[in-house]
Amino acid sequence: MSNILIIKHGSLGDLIQANGAIKDIKNFYQNRKVFLLTAQPYAIFMSECPYIDGVIIDKRLPRWNLLYLNNLKKILNKYNFSKVFDLQNSSRTKFYKRFIIKNVEWSSSESSLEPGQKKKDFDQEPVLDRMEIQLKKSGIETEFVKNIDLTWTKIDISRLLRQYSNSEYILIFPFCSKKLPQKKWPFFKELILKLKQEYKNKYPILLAPGPNEVDEANKLNAKVVLDKNEPVNIKTLISLISNAKFIVANDTGPAHIASHLDKKGIVLFGKHTSPKKVSIENYNFKAISVKDLKSLSVDEVLHAIKSKLN
C-alpha cells in the first residue's frame, strides 16, 4: 500500500501551527501510513506526534550538493509515496516536486489557487486559512486545522516548577532568530524591572532560553529555567507555557504555542508581518503592532499586561 508524505521543515511555530492540518490528514488517511519530512531540530519532538507514523529528516543542505539530493531521493523513493502535502510551500519544496519526488500527486498552495488567482495574493491570506483551503482542495474535512490539539505535547514538569516557582508566574520570551532581528523588541530588561516593581513577589518572572540564548537570558535579571543545567526540550517548553499565568513574547515559536494553548498574553509585532497573516491572535492572546518596535515603549507594553493580568 502506498504512503502519504507531509513536508514541514520548521520553524517550531510553523510546526505547531501545522499540527491541526497533520491531524486532519491522518484522520482522512487512517488506513495509510503518514510520514513527515522535517528538519533535524524537530525530529525527536515530532516523532512522538500521534498523528504521524514516522519522521524523515531533511538536512536541507545546499541544492548544488548533488550527493545529498541523490541520497534524499533514494530514501524517499523507498516509501512509495502516492501523495505529498507540501505544508512548507517554499522554493526548496517546489524544487523537490520537480526533481526529487516526481510523478506523485502533490498538494501545495499552488494547487489550491482558484482560476485566475495569483500565488502572491493567496500567500497574503492568514496561514491557517491557507492550510484549510489546501486540505479542502484534496477533499479532506478540516476539523482540527484551526482547532489545534496540543495535549500530546504536555508533560509533568512539577519538579521544575518547584525549583523555579512556588506560585503563578509570568513567562517571557525576549529572543528571536539571529536571521530575523527585526522581530526583536529591545526593551525586555526594562520591562522585567518594572514588572518586578509592579507585582513584587506575586509573579516570579521566568525565561526559558533555547540552546543559543542562555547567555542573553542571564543578562536580563530574571529566573532562567534550565533542566539539569541545559535548555529545556520542546515538550518541557510547551508545558512551561501551558502552566504560566501570562506570556510576553516576540513573534516567535513560543508565541504561537501560547496562542494555540489559549493562554493569556501579548505578542509584539513590528512591520515584518501582521498578526492576522500568521494567525496568532485569539480572545486571550493579543498582539501589539507597531511600525517600528524600537518606538514601542515599556510603559505601553506594561499597560497592556496590567489590563489583562489584573
Cell of 281: 491572535
Average pLDDT on 154-173 reads: 93
Average pLDDT on 132-141 reads: 96
Burial 201-217 (b: 16+ CB within 10 A, else e): eebbbbbbbbeebeeeb
Q: pLDDT at position 10, please?
A: 84
Domain boundaries, the chain: 3-149, 153-309
pTM for this predicted structure: 0.93
Q: pLDDT at position 175, please?
A: 92
pLDDT at 302 over 80: yes
Q: pLDDT at position 219, please?
A: 94
Provide the CATH number for the domain formed by 3-149 in this structure. Answer: 3.40.50.2000
Residue 203 and residue 246 in contact, taking contact as beta carbons nearer than 8 Å: yes
pLDDT band at 1 (very low <50, low <70, confident <90, very high): low
Residue 40 and residue 59 in contact, taking contact as beta carbons nearer than 8 Å: yes
pLDDT at 96 over 70: yes
Find out if CATH 3.40.50.2000 is the number for domain 153-309.
Answer: yes
Cell of 183: 522581530
pLDDT band at 179 (very low <50, low <70, confident <90, very high): confident
Q: pLDDT at position 3, please?
A: 97
Q: pLDDT at position 273, please?
A: 87
User: Distance between CA 110 and CA 200 in Å, rounded?
Assistant: 53
Q: pLDDT at position 160, please?
A: 94
Residue 102 burial by Cβ neighbours in a 10 Å radius (0-12, 13-18, 19+): exposed
- Angle between helices 188-199 and 298-309 in degrees, nearest 10: 40
* pLDDT tens track for 256-284: 999 999 999 999 999 988 999 999 999 99
pLDDT at 166 over 90: no
- Angle between helices 253-260 and 234-243 in degrees, nearest 10: 50
Question: Average per-residue pLDDT in the chain?
Answer: 94
Query: Helix-strand-coil percent breakdown of the chain, rounded to 5?
Result: 40, 15, 45
Q: pLDDT at position 209, please?
A: 95
Residue 252 and residue 265 in contact, taking contact as beta carbons nearer than 8 Å: no
Give me the percent of the chain exceeding a pLDDT of 90.
90
Q: Do domains 3-149 and 153-309 have the same CATH topology?
A: yes
pLDDT at 9 over 70: yes
Give me the percent of the chain exceeding a pLDDT of 70.
100
Residue matched to cell numbers 484522520: 27
pLDDT at 126 over 70: yes
